[in-house]
Structure formats: structure tokens, C-alpha cells
Amino acid sequence: MTNEEKTIYVTRTGLPLSFHFDWPFRKSTAGADFWYLHAEIRLENGAGMRALAAINLSATLREIMPSLEAVDTEAPIINALRKEVDRRQLEFMKSGKLVPVHFSSRHYDFKRSKWVFGQASDEEVATLIARKIYWQTKIVGGNVWLADPTEALYLETTADHVIEIAGRMAKDGLFTLEKGYARANQALMAESEKFEGDTQAALAELEQKHAFERG
């Protein structure tokens, strides 16, 4: 995947990630009733680290999916993996080992028929917007799509609400906003020390957790 093809998705803790999936889902042949999909999650901070995951889709969740094609599953899978990173369940290494990730009903509210990844406050949405624009601009460049439905799903809000918050932020001159796309201004990129410091702090906490578990 070239940089031009990448979309950067930032976790709530501040880690910039890109995702590559080995489509399609495959049915388990081990007797268990689930489907699996392999994924590579790259930490896009220049350290060259990654996490490898085997996403195991439960039979219960399979029943509510329109299909197992990327158009119906990619957004919730990206967010489920981001949630696992938020929970420090995945470890980033130079040569990652395959880790099972259960894509199950805990990510879905059957009573309300909606995906649940934790509803973000307006302040949290604003923080993620700023981080996304910074990292997407640094790694890929160009305009940054803020109306991405994957982001709205992750934040448990709507794309319109994300754009509303971004519109208020744009008045401070950090970026320009037009038709759901943002372009970083020098003022935002000048805050690199803050954004990269947040990423390093989040990574340090994640590594400390896994080092403790290894003893």
C-alpha cells in the first residue's frame, strides 16, 4: 500500500494507524462456528511497528451483517480493532505475531440495533479531528475527509455532527474546511510536538502494559 492510498485512523488515545485486510472472510474449518479475516495494523509514527490480528466473527454477529463483503464489514472492523488498541489488547512490534480478536456481539447493541464503540464527547471529537488532520497530512498529504462514516461510527455520532464541530474549530485558523474535507494550515502542523508527544505517551502506556503481562 502506497502512502497515497492510505487512510489514517487515529485511536482515542492518540495512536495513528492504517489497516490492511486479507479479504475475504473465510469459514473456519476447525469445527467452530465462526468466520475469520486476517488484518495488519500499522502504527504510522515512523517506527515501523505493526500488529497482526485474526478477526473472528461470531455466528451471532454474522446473523445481523448484510454480507461479509468489505462494504458492509470494513468500518465496524476498523473500529473494533481501534477499540482493542484503546483497551491495550494489541501490541505493536517490528515483527508482529498473529493475535485473535473476537468480533462479537459486545460491539453491537441488539436492543437499539446499532454498533457501540463508546460515545465520544464533543471535546473528544474535536481532539480526534485535530489528530486525524495532523497525521493524515503528515503521512499522506492533501485533503482530509472528515465526513468519513467510519469515524462517525467510532465516535457514536453522525458525520454531520463531526463536520459541525470541525466547522467551529476551523474558525480558529488551524485548518480550512470545505464540503466535508479539511486542509491543514501551518498553525496546526506547527503543533507537531503536541500531537507526536500524545502518540509517544499512549505508546509508552501500551508497551508498559504488555511488558508487565510478560513479567
Q: Is residue 22 within 8 Å of 39, Cβ to Cβ?
A: yes
> 196 versus 5: which is more confidently predicted?
196
Query: Count of H helices and E strands in the chain?
Result: 7, 11
Q: What pLDDT is attached to residue 158?
A: 97
Q: What pLDDT is attached to residue 104?
A: 84
What confidence tier does 134 reach under pLDDT thresholds 50, 70, 90?
very high
Is the pTM of the predicted complex or chain greater than 0.75?
yes
- For the ranges 40-54, 64-78, 84-98, 122-136, the lowest mean pLDDT is seen at 84-98
Q: Is residue 56 within 8 Å of 101, Cβ to Cβ?
A: yes
Q: What pLDDT is attached to residue 96?
A: 66
Dihedral over Cα of 75, 195, 93, 102: its sign: negative
Amino acid at 185: N
Going by DSSP bridges, is the β-strand pair 114-115/98-103 parallel, antiparallel, or unpaired? Answer: unpaired
Grid coordinates representing 88? 491495550
Instruction: Indicate the number of domains in the chain.
Output: 1
Q: What pLDDT is attached to residue 94?
A: 83
Q: What pLDDT is attached to residue 105?
A: 86
Q: By percentage, how much of the chain surpasses pLDDT 70?
A: 94
Q: Give yes or no for residue 101 having a pLDDT over 70.
A: yes
Q: Give yes or no for residue 187 having a pLDDT over 90.
A: yes
Domain span at residue 83 reads 3-214
Q: Kindly state the average pLDDT of the residues 163-180.
A: 96
N- to C-terminal Cα distance for the chain? 36
Q: Is residue 34 within 8 Å of 56, Cβ to Cβ?
A: yes
